[in-house]
Amino acid sequence: MGNIKLGLNLEFARYENGSFDWAMDQAAEIGYKYVEPMVHWGRELLSAAGYFHSRSMLDDPLILRNAAEDRGLSISSLSSHAPLAKPEVAVEYFRQAIRYAAEAGSPMIMVDDGPTPSWTTEEENYTLMRYTLKEAALVAEPRGIKIAIETHGPYTATPERLDRIMNLVDSPALTINLDTGNSYLSENDPHEWLEAIIGQVTHLHAKDIALDDAKRLRGKVRGMLGCACGEGVIDWKRIVDTLAAADHDVVLSVECGTLDAAKKSYTHLSALIEAVGQ
């Protein structure tokens, strides 16, 4: 039996106009042991001014590592999304993110299918995504870094389409981050989906969708920040039971829209994890 590691994606800071350090402080104060920071290329004014939580990959990665360690936190993944079917952007972005992750102490990076070129066919997009993932895997494998493909866009919107992406490249570096909220919004049953692919899942975005949002937006959008876990449509006991039965560790990383939701999610999920003996 593997361990369920409860973490917090720092996206909640976006609606609080919070900085990276503020978000890390809040995660530690609430009681989370794992965090999922965002990284970006170049320089970005809002982050530099303290109104956004992302860190530039031009900064020393030890800043991020030390920020986690000083607060008793571990990094579960780096949120480093770039469009898989646009290798002119994604290949170098992922290469840098993987090297950055290795120094920052993150075991994986988070990616998704993202927007595709406006002029390519579906088959061409799969070829482009294969190229991107292969180039990323060549950098990730020798460093022991995982590439977690998140359920987020049209090419990861169903179990069949995600499976096709996972089979584009034969690499031990490829793994899955199932986003429960995004999966639900794409008109799937995330509980059944997780149960079917648990062997490939090492990271899970614990995202709940409020009932009103579910009624309005399911089938119309594929992603949004969630409400507090336990206040929406997801059966978290079933999710936790599935993770507890896995033969490997999985990070359950809360992705919600506010600090209050992060606190409520911690309370709700901690009780369920404790109930399964972890």
The series of mean pLDDT values per 10 residues for the chain, 278 residues long, is: 94 94 98 98 94 96 98 98 97 98 98 96 98 98 98 96 98 98 98 98 98 96 95 98 97 97 98 95
- CA nearest 180: which of 169, 167, 194? 194
| The pLDDT value given to residue 96 | 98
Architecture of domain 4-275 in CATH? Alpha-Beta Barrel (3.20)
Domain boundaries, the chain: 4-275
| The pLDDT value given to residue 173 | 98
| Per-residue pLDDT reduced to its tens digit, 146-175 | 999 999 999 999 999 999 999 999 999 999
Burial 85-100 (b: 16+ CB within 10 A, else e): bbbeebbebbebbbbb
Whole-model pTM: value is 0.96
| The pLDDT value given to residue 1 | 75
